[in-house]
Copies of this chain bind each other. A is one copy, B any other.
Amino acid sequence: MKPKRVTIKDLAKELKVSPSTISRALQDSYQIGEETKKAIWELAKKWNYKPNLVAKRLIKQKSFTVGVIVPEVSYYFNATLIKGLEDILLKEGFNLIICQTHESYEREILHCEFLMASQVDGIISSISGETQQMSHFYNILEAGMPMVLFDRGFNVPNVSKVMIDNVEAGRVAVAHLIDTGCKRIAYLQGPESLPIGNARKKGYQKALAEAGVSFDRKLVSHCKFGSDMGFSNAKKMLEMPEPPDAFFCINDRIGMGTMAAIREKGLRIPEDISVIGFNDEPYAKLLNPKLTTIEQPAFQMGQEAAKMFFYQLKTDEPEILTKILPTKLIIRESTKGIVN
């Protein structure tokens, strides 16, 4: 089970020309006579010749491939960002190799090494939930390979990145809750180790402070991004002596789990408890009630990240760039009307 593949040499032998001629003809080089070309093309087609990209990469020292590392490809944000990446990269003839860490630091390192060893032309990466130490990323940079970080890489110094203003987004979300009359606002932050969650927490605290509401650490809760979706965390909070009257959730999935927990308690949304999510995932507007959330321009972030990659690829001494994209509050039914 391994029919030998046809190579340039095979074609050369058959046509009694040199491999160089075959190679040039296949590239449609002006140096080769029309008739020779035609004969070569015909045979190549007939024999179903396909160039071996591995050999081409070795010689060209380029792969026209970029590695993409995300925690989980099924997260809506990542999937959408990848589409933005593809939108730019495919047009330029680049392929992407998508790798997922499943939030494992170890796998993130392995993927970086694999991609570098595979001689990709660059790496575009988020950061796993476990990652504390960034040397695997700096290795890439030191090897002179283009790299851009996005989303969770927002606070890694000396690396180009595309991000949102997480503090501000958190502030806006919580300010909306306050504006609609909520007083005891819980924050379901997701994994404690994620700087992105801590940045939004800063925004949460800022909004609280601006409204003169004191911060209660019991109202911040951590959970994994698992399939439980914050359901049990929200439930626990609801059973506190002084339960929250609103939840700010780190993403819409967790918002969904929170809504289920609220319903299970027999409470109404938003009359009894308000909920705000993050991301504006496609189902947010189909939930019952429809979920208020913060929209993040994931597709556009992907496009910008791809552009940064090209900038680095094509520039001799590229600057380190930081691009901050805007977020937007989308008010729907899971929060109340604004109180004057």
A51 neighbours in B (Cβ, 8 Å):
117
- Asked if A119 is an interface residue, CB under 8 A from chain B, the answer is yes
A76 neighbours in B (Cβ, 8 Å):
74
- Asked if A263 is an interface residue, CB under 8 A from chain B, the answer is yes
A1 neighbours in B (Cβ, 8 Å):
144, 312, 315-318
Mask: chain A, 198-218; 1 = CB below 8 Å from B; 0 = not: 000000000000000000000
A136 CB → nearest B CB, Å: 12
- Asked if A224 is an interface residue, CB under 8 A from chain B, the answer is no
Q: How far, in angstroms, from A73 to B315 measured CA to CA in the complex?
A: 32
Contact indicator B73/A95 (Cβ below 8 Å)? no
- Please, which residue of chain B has its CB at the minimum distance from the CB of A118? B53
- Asked if A256 is an interface residue, CB under 8 A from chain B, the answer is yes
Contact of A288 with B317 at beta-carbon distance under 8 Å, contacts A54-B54, A114-B95 already known: no
A88 neighbours in B (Cβ, 8 Å):
none
Q: How far, in angstroms, from A116 to B52 measured CA to CA in the complex?
A: 9
A253 neighbours in B (Cβ, 8 Å):
283
Interface residues of A (CB under 8 A from B): 1-3, 5, 48, 50-55, 57-58, 63, 72-76, 79-80, 82-83, 95, 97-100, 102, 113-114, 116-119, 139, 142-144, 227, 229, 231, 253, 256-257, 259-260, 263, 282-283, 286-288, 312, 315-318
Additional A-B contact list (6), CB under 8 Å, known A54-B118, A54-B119, A260-B286? A1-B312, A50-B116, A53-B119, A74-B80, A97-B97, A287-B288
